[in-house]
Amino acid sequence: MGPILPVPVLVAWAIVVCGGAYAVTTCSGAATATVSASQQDLDALKQRFRRPEGVPHPKANPMTPEKVALGKALFFDPRLSRSGSVSCATCHNPSLGWSDGLPQAVGFGMAPLPRRTPPVRNLAWGAAFQWDGRADSLEAQARMPITAPDEMNMSMDLVVERLQAVQDYAPLFRDAFGGEGAITARNVTMALATFQRTLVSGEAPFDRWASGDESAIGADAKRGFALFTGKAGCAACHSTWRFTDDSFHDIGLKAGDDLGRGKFAPPSVTAMRYAFKTPSLRDLRMQGPYMHDGQLGSLNAVLDHYVKGGETRASLSFEMKPFEMDERERRDLVAFLKTLKSEPAAITLPQLP
């Protein structure tokens, strides 16, 4: 298999507010052009962050209600772990934003893991998964924590053996996939992936504003959006309706032994050293922790980091530029981030077979 390289970021847009008027900047590589803008330009920019109409599912794994129900049961079933006490939902807890709220995850035998548990919302649109992007599909990602020795510590053969021993799982698999002998490792991961694709953030105040409701967010949040897409440069990486480019960047955090995406790239690809996936800002937990290893515990610490521009090194992403931000701008930016939060959907726990 060839080297795993970053998903390219082709175009970033920025909007700045000057008095009562807007100016839009488009950036592609090193080329930059600024044009005068009107309300039409602002509407075009908002369009880039608008929610899609539906949820994509791959042709190789189409969605059915039966497959979603099976995937949900498997997601909450601790029998998928060697200890029989840990399920996918243990770390991806719906009451904690589909994460665990910890700076770093806890693995098999309560051993601390080096990375934070990422939320699993809005992954149906993802291009690469895990903090280092080593999974190229949700189906591949679903297998990884189950079989990782320091996480759920199982083999897929043992998972299948356990599920076959549970009488009531057979009809669930048969309904989802048809035929006898439907309890297979492939079907386990396909069901899990299908369920995860249904975990989608609800409509947020920002969405209503982007659709034309000017009263949906306050003036401070609108200024924060201008800062987010303009001087602060956040939208260079936090783009699309999910506020992520699905790419990988070294943002100049304090580095340790974890090379991130750099582990899979040739040594000559310097930019991928210490590069980690851009997290989505949808439904951002305002109390933290933040970053791939939870090293920044508060939103103020995150803003401080970006204002300073991160640690200087050869792999530092070119998007990382120091800038000035006063206290009102900080409040405005936080006000904007809060508009990306939707009302949590009610989740009913499945009755396990």
Q: Is 237 annotated as a binding residue?
A: yes
Backbone torsions φ then ψ of 291, nearest 5 degrees = 80, 170
Q: Is 27 annotated as a binding residue?
A: no
Q: Is 18 annotated as a binding residue?
A: no
- Give the residue numbers annotated as catalytic, written as ranges: 151
What is d(CA 255, CA 252) in angstroms, rounded to the nearest whole number?
A: 8
Closest CA to 120 of 79, 89, 162: 89
How many angstroms separate the Cα of 272 from the Cα of each of 19, 83, 247, 268?
A: 40, 36, 10, 9
What is d(CA 353, CA 113) in angstroms, rounded to the nearest whole number?
A: 30
- C-alpha dihedral over 299, 304, 310, 311, to 10 degrees? -110
Q: Is 234 annotated as a binding residue?
A: yes
Q: Which residues have CB under 8 Å from 37's CB, separation 6+?
A: 15, 21, 22, 23, 24
User: Which residues are part of a known binding site?
Assistant: 88, 91-92, 234, 237-238
User: Which residues are part of a known binding site for heme c?
Assistant: 88, 91-92, 234, 237-238
